[in-house]
Amino acid sequence: MTGGGDVPGLNPAIRAITVRAQREGYRVLGIRKGWEGLIRIDRDRPAAEQDYCQVLTGETVNKVGRTGGTFLHTSRTQPSKVKKKAVPPPLQKAYAQEINDLTPEVIQNLDHLGIDHLIPIGGDDTLSYAWRLHQEGCPVVAIPKTMDNDVAGTDYCLGFSTCVTRTIELSNQLRTSAGSHERFLVVEVFGRYAGFSALLPAMAGACNRCLIPEHPFDMERLTEILSEDRRRNPSNYSIAIVSEGARFADGGMVFEGEEADAYGHKKLGGIGDQVAARLKELSPQYNNGEQVGIINQRLGYLVRSGHPDAIDSIVPVAYGNIALNLLLAGKRGRLVSLRDGKYGDVELKEVIASKKRVNIQKHYNTDRFRPDYRSFENKPLFIMSCED
């Protein structure tokens, strides 16, 4: 089962799990549309006839395992907090509160489907509910997925490498327009609470400066530094990558609207627009009275769509097989992990026990809005570990 946002790497993980599980003699069911699928099971029908359930075989998953997204589909559903209007019609009489806990239905549906082991693949929201099911006695082993790389307990989450790769590629492509017109280039990327998806491309040289959620930024200081960068560049342009959750020093996050998803998150978006507008407004102060033009681009779903890169094709195979090893060993309530370059597992509770964020004291120059790496020795592949 896959939940939350889609990322490249999900289908390879589903393929690895299915092929290995069948080899071990298991029947494999894919739950469609994440946790939503598990509140919509029709207990009057067998598993093979369910709309939200799909029997998986090697033939089903082999070709799709090379593709991006999730062919099982996904949703942002939280079964313990289902709004009244989202309760499936057959359950509306029994669950008529404004907010409803449908966990009893989920457990009965798992029993009805004959599921002995559940492998949810998702981020901290999806996996926090997986921990709830484990506490209720359901046998769960989880796999971390999020392009923000912000699941606690692991150095790596599926989708992160492809996100960084695409961000670098697209930012570098945009340089031709920025240089041709001698402008500031503002690139907005995903990253609600954690700035890894902006910081790593900055380390790779995809931008001059990056703004991350962990540290509020001063707009005048940013304009001053980007103007310096622009003057030093022979092509007379400079680039800033902005996490969607970045915050002005004099304000909070920027949202598209007030409506929240099932996990209570309002949709972010627009910080790049505001940074671009204020850069243009402030630019004459640092450019001899002349206003600097702006190119403003929100990468959004471009970095989470399409096929996985090499790392997001290899790591899912390892994660899927480790999940099966844990099940075969009778272990439950575990999170497959990658720490200090080694595959393993940790208690699933780590997902909710702490928050994984950029350690700005170790890795971010708050005055220069840049990554701060003084040494690389004995660091993991992506420099920052979950223990930072």
Which of the residues 148, 150, 309, 345 is marked catalytic? Answer: 148
Catalytic (active site) residue 148 = yes
Nearest to 335 by CA among 169, 128, 42: 128
With beta carbons less than 8 A apart as the criterion, state whether 101 and 81 touch. Answer: yes
Tokens for 362, please give them. Answer: 């170790």
Q: Measured between alpha carbons, how far is residue 184 from residues 169, 224, 238 in Å?
A: 18, 12, 5
Could you give the residue ranges of the DSSP H alpha helices within the chain? 10-23, 34-39, 58-61, 103-113, 124-135, 160-181, 196-203, 219-232, 271-282, 311-328, 350-353, 360-363
With beta carbons less than 8 A apart as the criterion, state whether 30 and 13 touch. Answer: no
HEC-encoded secondary structure of 127-196: HHHHHHHHHCCCCEEEEEECCCCCCCCCCCCECHHHHHHHHHHHHHHHHHHHHHHCCEEEEEECCCCCCH
Looking at the DSSP assignment, which residues form a beta bridge with residue 211?
Answer: 242
Active site residues: 148
